[in-house]
Chain A
Amino acid sequence: NAGVTQTPKFRVLKTGQSMTLLCAQDMNHEYMYWYRQDPGMGLRLIHYSVGEGTTAKGEVPDGYNVSRLKKQNFLLGLESAAPSQTSVYFCASTQGLSSGEQYFGPGTRLTVT
């Protein structure tokens, strides 16, 4: 049972390049999330999904797109990377409304130059 995994762990992009971050969970969770973590700002929700085939915007969605074609995977895309997207990205998942606990992946450190 691997929990939540993220690929890649590190990446350096040039401005304007595109990339996709992959999140996978093996806990059969319904809900999945993408956050970004920046110094002094805590975690901010980018996009989330309440089930396979659904996605919705969080508080900082601009410049990102997501897809959830399979229940276990949640992809975060950057179509045209900008230096402001330099951050650490975390994926998380949870089963439902009762426990409140979200399970986090180890993070992807992205640098855009």
Chain B
Amino acid sequence: GNSVTQMEGPVTLSEEAFLTINCTYTATGYPSLFWYVQYPGEGLQLLLKATKADDKGSNKGFEATYRKETTSFHLEKGSVQVSDSAVYFCATRGVNTGFQKLVFGTGTRLLVSP
């Protein structure tokens, strides 16, 4: 089945640093790809998504580009803030699945210090 692999954390950065969190996928066909974020004590919420190759998802200064040739969907932000401290999950869903099933990576914790 489809799967995603993301880098282990924690990722520790100073405020205004550049962020990259790597995510690669294994899938049949070209599945939609997602980044979810989990702030402390909360449930997950969708950060951004891309539904086809070369699509770029963006939200709140975060970006990720669906790259078919490298099977990757790396999350980037040019200048992180303390408020970005959270756990980030890469996820995918299958093509032609009978229902909305998501497969999540193990999560990458981001810690941003002032």
Contact = CB atoms under 8 A, between A and B. Distances in A.
A47 B99 CA distance: 13
Contacts of A65: none
B106 A104 contact: no
Contact of A90 (B34, B43, B49, B101): B43
- Pick from A97, A102, A103 the residue with the most CB of B within 10 Å: A102
Nearest to A56: B99
Interface residues of A, number: 22
Interface in B3-57: 32, 34, 41-46, 49, 51
A50 interface: yes
Contacts of A48: 99, 101
Contacts of A100: 32, 34, 49, 51, 93, 100, 102
Contacts of B107: 42
Interface residues of B, number: 21
Contacts, number: 50
Interface of A: 4, 31, 40-43, 45, 48, 50, 90, 92, 94, 96-97, 100-107
A96 B101 CA distance: 11
A101 B45 CA distance: 9
A97 B100 contact: yes
A104 B34 contact: no
A104 B89 CA distance: 13
